[in-house]
């Protein structure tokens, strides 16, 4: 398990121009502080792109991926269950209207 240390973020509310999707969708770019000893480490920095959905039933992450900041190269890593819960809680606390 990688210890997730979220150091910052950018967030944007995604618009549904046709009104087909229920709830509100947000695109988060989370900045991570990763230890140099971790296999995920990059000198350029690491981030997670998250699509977060909030509707009347529940809040959830519908998609995410790790990427190398600067190059935007997608990395083949997955969040563990407790890490996903941490990211979900972070997104919930930081949504914009």
- Residue indicated by tokens 């398990």: 1
Q: Whole-model pTM?
A: 0.89
Mean pLDDT of 3-15: 91
User: In this structure, are residues 33 and 53 in contact, taking their beta carbons and an 8 Å threshold?
Assistant: no
CA distance 51 to 48: 10
CA distance 3 to 33: 9
pLDDT band at 94 (very low <50, low <70, confident <90, very high): very high
CA distance 78 to 10: 21
How far CA 35 is from CA of 3, 59, 65, 87, 93, in Å, comes to 9, 30, 19, 18, 25
Other CB atoms within 10 Å distance of the CB of residue 48: 23
Mean pLDDT of 35-45: 89
User: In this structure, are residues 78 and 48 in contact, taking their beta carbons and an 8 Å threshold?
Assistant: no
Mean pLDDT of 34-59: 92
């Amino acid at each position: 398990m990688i210890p997730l240390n979220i150091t910052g973020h950018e967030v944007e509310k995604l618009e549904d121009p046709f009104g087909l999707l229920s709830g509100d969708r947000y695109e988060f770019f989370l900045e991570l502080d990763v230890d140099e000893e971790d296999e995920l480490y990059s000198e350029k920095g690491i981030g997670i792109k998250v699509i977060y959905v909030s509707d009347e039933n529940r809040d959830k992450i519908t998609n995410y991926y790790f990427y190398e900041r600067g190059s935007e190269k997608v990395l083949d890593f997955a969040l563990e269950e407790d890490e996903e819960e941490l990211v979900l809680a972070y997104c919930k606390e930081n949504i914009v209207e």
